[in-house]
A and B are shown apart, each in its own frame.
Chain A
């Protein structure tokens, strides 16, 4: 019962935080430096990790699919499976999970520490809304960078899949066939669906992590707990949303 109440309270607080942040949208042009700084943190510094993870996932996926398909003479379809799986599902989900782990945890740790050490209170006493300077730039930055991260995750997965398909002795499917078959199956709609998913997941991750950070009370131990809570909540949220967003856009 207590957990349910806490969950409802957290969702309510998240909605209020989003509403308050939205009221500061007119201040966005003068906060462009903060937005750029967050874009650097969220996008540029996360990209290598997204690339490595999705490259490996694409490769392993090609290996798995290839192993199953070669016995039935369907190995030319590896490209279609890897292509669709990466663009519709694995690319946006994996990119969002990396964002939750790398960016979300950092956001929660920073905001929770600002809260615990009264920096957030100091902002309020200066009549500066924390939502304006701490939350809004991060939300805008994730909206700007998430499409690039999603596209990169998809491309990395395709590349990993194609390399494994070409050089794995048990598969040996050349690039051109891999990408040609993929091209027949992966339509522009699939890419836009993936981008929509990525945007929704990324936005929710940053909102959850900001919310948990700003609600932290106590001392250093609570900062650690907040980070764990935020990352777990973000990943669960991604997985739940994945179903509903997929159902909505199918």
Chain B
């Protein structure tokens, strides 16, 4: 793929963000900064608020407290996402079921009239080829497996040539080879386009391999934030327990809880 070079990578400032649903606080005073061009990985157990945090950053929801700035602009404002090209790879794919794989990927470029038809076709087919999806271009999303849908979602986001790209569990439901391919892709695209990437992932290997920095989000707060090497070497029992969970058949966790 030969993506257009982004105008400039953008920073993301998350400052004291709080979010509650029906009185239950999902995010509590979450603060961190993502540097321009960085791959920032957010890890954490299920239900820790990772996807909710992504929804606040992309502007789908407003935080109850605190603020999120993308290149100094309020992430909750629609105008910010009009000025700065942002994208999100949804965990479920969120493909448009009424459109073919090709049309799903071309939708953004067509709607914003960014290129002529031939260029759009070339860009989409190149993205599909990178993810081994060229033979699925004319299939409908209903005909795809879960892993294929995920790859189409990644391809669709890449075609958008965003300055800030958020990935919600990009490697879940993928086989190890395809998960590695997607991880390589995330890193390669960053190198070529200098876009800023925020990746939410359970995949420890992916997170610690591609991330410039890794944050561990637990119970709505950041428990650890450091470079992968430091996270790996951490002696913090919470971090160690999350990264290296021991399977103890004689003393299972659900009995302790």
Taking Cβ atoms with an 8 Å cutoff, the residues of A that contact B are 113-114, 117-119, 121-122, 124-128, 133
Interface size classification for chain B: 20 to 34
Least CB distance, A52 to chain B, in whole angstroms? 28
Task: Answer whether A118 and B108 are a contact pair too, CB < 8 Å, given A126-B160, A127-B82.
Answer: no
Tell me whether A122 and B94 are in contact in the complex, defined as CB-CB below 8 angstroms, given that A128-B108, A133-B111 are known contacts.
yes
CB-defined contacts of A113 to chain B, threshold 8 Å:
97
Bound CA span A129–B107, Å: 13
Q: Residues of B contacting A124 with CB < 8 Å?
A: 59-60
With contacts A114-B97, A122-B94 known, what are 4 further pairs, Cβ within 8 A? A119-B97, A125-B86, A125-B88, A126-B87
Q: Which 10 A-B pairs have the closest CB atoms?
A: A118-B94, A122-B94, A125-B88, A126-B108, A127-B81, A128-B111, A125-B58, A118-B90, A121-B60, A119-B96
* Contacting pair A125 B92 (CB below 8 A): no
Minimum CB–CB distance from B122 to chain A (whole Å) comes to 20
Determine whether the beta carbon of A119 is less than 8 Å from that of B86: no
The verdict on B95 contacting chain A, using a C-beta distance below 8 Å, is: yes
Q: Chain A residues with Cβ under 8 A from B107's Cβ?
A: 126, 128
15 contacts between A and B (CB under 8 A): A113-B97, A117-B94, A118-B94, A119-B95, A119-B97, A121-B55, A121-B60, A122-B96, A124-B59, A125-B86, A126-B108, A126-B160, A127-B112, A128-B107, A133-B111
Contacts of B86 in A (CB 8 A): 125
A85 to B32, CA, bound (A): 69
Determine if B92 and A118 form an interchain contact, defined as CB atoms under 8 angstroms apart. Answer: yes
The 0/1 profile, CB within 8 Å of A marked 1, for residues 179-201 of chain B is: 00000000000000000000000
Which chain A residues lie closer than 8 Å to B81 at the CB level? 125, 127
Task: Kindly list chain B residues whose C-beta atoms are within 8 Å of the C-beta of A127.
Answer: 78, 81-82, 85, 112
CB neighbours (8 Å) of B59 from chain A are 124-125
Q: How far is the CB of B142 from chain A (nearest CB, A)?
A: 11
CB B12 to nearest CB in A, in angstroms, measures 15
- A119 adjacent to B111 (CB under 8 Å): no
Chain B proximity of A35: nearest CB distance (Å): 15
Q: How far is the CA of A56 from the CA of B113 in the complex (A)?
A: 49
B90 CB contact (under 8 Å) in A121, A128, A133: A121
Q: Which residues of B contact A122 (CB under 8 A)?
A: 88, 90, 94-96
- A contact residues around B111 at 8 Å (CB): 126, 128, 133
Give the nearest-CB partner of A30 in chain B: B113
- Contact across chains for A125 and B96 when beta carbons are under 8 A apart: no
CA distance A117 to B91 in the complex (A): 11
List of B residues within 8 angstroms of A126 by Cβ? 87, 107-108, 111, 160
Assembly CA distance A222 to B98 (angstroms): 20
Closest to A31 in B: B111
A128 cross-chain contacts in B, Cβ below 8 A: 107-108, 111-112
Q: Which residue on chain B has the smallest CB distance to residue A132?
A: B111
- Chain A residues whose CB sits within 8 angstroms of the CB of B97 once the complex forms: 113-114, 117, 119
Given contacts A125-B87, A126-B107, contact A119 B94 (CB under 8 A): yes
Question: Across the interface, which residues of A come within 8 angstroms of B85, CB to CB?
Answer: 127
Distance from B176 Cβ to chain A, minimum over Cβ atoms (Å): 26
Cα separation A133 to B110 with both chains bound (whole Å)? 12
**In the assembled complex, how far is the CB of residue B100 from the closest CB belonging to chain A, in whole angstroms?**
14
Nearest Cβ distance between residue A214 and chain B, in whole angstroms?
A: 14
**Minimum CB–CB distance for A123 against chain B, Å:** 8
Q: Residue on B with the closest CB to A133?
A: B111
Closest to A120 in B: B94
Which chain A residue has the least Cβ–Cβ distance from B87?
A: A125
Measured CB to CB, the closest approach of chain A to B187, in angstroms, equals 22
A125 to B60, CA, bound (A): 7
Q: Which of chain A's residues has its CB closest to B80's CB?
A: A127
Q: In the complex, A124 Cα to B111 Cα: how many Å?
A: 12
Determine which residue in B60, B82, B160 has the highest number of CB atoms from chain A within 10 A of its CB, and name it. B60
A114 to chain B, nearest CB (A): 8
CA distance A33 to B132 in the complex (A): 31
| CB 8 Å contact bits of B43-62 with A (1 = contact, 0 = none) | 00000000000010011100
Interface string of B205-224 (1 = CB under 8 A from A): 00000000000000000000
